[in-house]
Structure 1
Amino acid sequence: MIYNIADFLGEIASNNEILTITQTLESGLDKYKFLRIENGSKHIDNSYAELLKLNDFIRIETPGPYKLHKGYPSPRSLYPIEMFICVNENQFVLKDNYKDQYKYYSNISIKAEQGDILLEFNNKYPEHYNHIKKTLLILECGHFLYNINKVGLMLGYKYEVITIDKYRIHLKSQKVETDINKTKKITEFSRRSYLRNSGHYRHPLTPLNNNTKVVLNNYEKDFHDIERLFKNNDISEKIQIQTYLNRGNGEFLEVGSKQNNYINYRNLNMIYPYINFKGVNTFSFLLIKNRTFTTENATKYLLSLGYIAQSICMYHADYHVFCRPIKSFSFFEVEKLLKIDKDNYTPFYFLINAPK
């Protein structure tokens, strides 16, 4: 799942409807040889079982066409990611996403050590996603990385992404001190994962109560975690987060800006017409520097966008609100509306936070 300049230029061309360029994905799942199935987790390390549960389906939502949900979002609930943990040399365990069953595999093509995590994928995107399917997969992996990293630290594991190739992401595991409050923290993380919600498709939003208090996230810790994950200290320099707060009646103002340039919800409705922005609490655009894509493999920067997006989703996880990540919007229209420096930045990802 290597993302490079060709993918970026192709995505811009497709976004501007100049031409449609198909992104390519090549799954490595056929390299795994099935060994056995074990029911129940009594034969597996408790920490591994807890980590593998992060890829379970945890909620069924009705009404709506996309009913099954995990602790992180996936376009149309496709969920193509498979999570393997190395149990010994060349042997890996995969949990069934629906039940307490564990499947063991061997893969002699991978050099991994006990505790390492491999994120593989099924290429099951429908045709209408051909122009952005690699982008969607990488962003989704970034969302999932957030969950793995947070729970891993609670369990006493620190991870480093050591390999990103066309087949997979390889996380190196290192044992560290277990959080003394791990049980309480994991329970709370599981609760928020369950509450995380992208909202019903084309769901009419409740108008914002002007007395609603919105507390905004701080991303300093997220960038610190990301730069440790990738052993790279320039990621915070390549990504910019612009958050806008509804000041009442659908008039939005950028948080922290000295300019009083209000954006009316009607203009936002034209960018993403599936909801009424008059009822949105906040929205955030994740911008990325254009020169980021001159590197041979820019995947870690897209993973970082997904990681930050998941932080936003989890921060707003609640019974009464939803947080929806959005990839399908016009770069050009957003650049024009938000007066983005398009020569240096591209609005790459978009999240809205609103009452249910």
Structure 2
Amino acid sequence: MGDLVRSTARDFLVPGVVALVRTPSGDVTSSYGTRTFGGGPAVTAADHVRVGSITKTFTGTVVLQLVQEGRLGLDDPVSKYRPDVPNGGAITIAQLLDMRSGLFNYSETLELAEAMDADPARVWQPDELLAMAYAHPPYFPPDQGYHYSNTNTVLLGLIAQQLDGEPLEQILRDRLFGPLGMTETSFPALTSAALPDPHPQGYMFGSNVLTMGSPPALPAPMQADAHDGSLLPGDRTLDNPSWAWAAGAAISTVGDLARWTEALTNGKVLDQRTQSLRMSSPRPTDPANPPEAPRYGLAIAKFGALYGHTGELPGFNTFAGTDPERKVTVVVWANLEPTVDGHAAASEIAKRIIERMYASAGPTPTR
């Protein structure tokens, strides 16, 4: 695994990568590179990183716990809890969880990208994020398509706070991190941009505006400059993650993420009925290409045989997934996001690790 991690990280100009693979035979950890660009201390499995959209699995699990407690229903209209949501009477809690609400993703607005470039330390309030989303028409009517949208999860975080009567950071600690023994995982208050020690720095070439495309690649001349060393990445470690909040602000380590992604699939955080519903929920994100397309369900993604999630935000990329049949868990993080050519380095490394493992183990199980 070490050769694959090293070669891919070098190709993508990533300063540091940590990968953890857990199988019935035990754990294997591979680390490459340094916490800071150009040298310095080596990255380690103890390092804390921003995990981006893996946070959605935390927020979504809390919402599903509230469902099993009878405090809200998957078929409830979001307007029951948030009357300000456009067409909220036709959008259900389930459609927020599985990204089929049609609500515009505020993260795709030029307004947010420009603001993040101008003031990376800005503290964003959730309602400010929603206002940016509501200024745009929906992508489609509810349940008539799939579009990944942070707007959905910000709404779910607000609903969880409304029902539990506590800040989301305390809800996650009390309901998930504490009971599971995830002592290295945290969700910061809106005003906090700190990372616990030890931690790497997180880097990005270019700016949020320059990387708005899909894929988020820099212009070709800038890519060439990065590869020849004349363009250096910017340090985004202390950018305030409140712009992602319930959809992407959490912090963790590879060990805690392995524990978490296994809990997602083994029923430790949900009752049997709700767990079964969640595990059967992922549907193709691209109906025109279902065999190859990743699947997405109730705040959980499915990549081949693995269930979990990815996370991307300026400076950090993370992948965490578990195959519950073969008892295989893969967690990878990289301290560069995005790469100059628009890849997500940790996700690409995880994909290559999984392909190698399953090629040597025989056919991937299907369901």
**Fold shared per TM-score above 0.5:** no
More strand by share: 1
TM-score (norm 2): 0.26
Structure with higher RCO (Cα < 8 A, 6+ apart): 2
Larger Rg: 1
Q: TM-score, normalised by structure 1?
A: 0.26
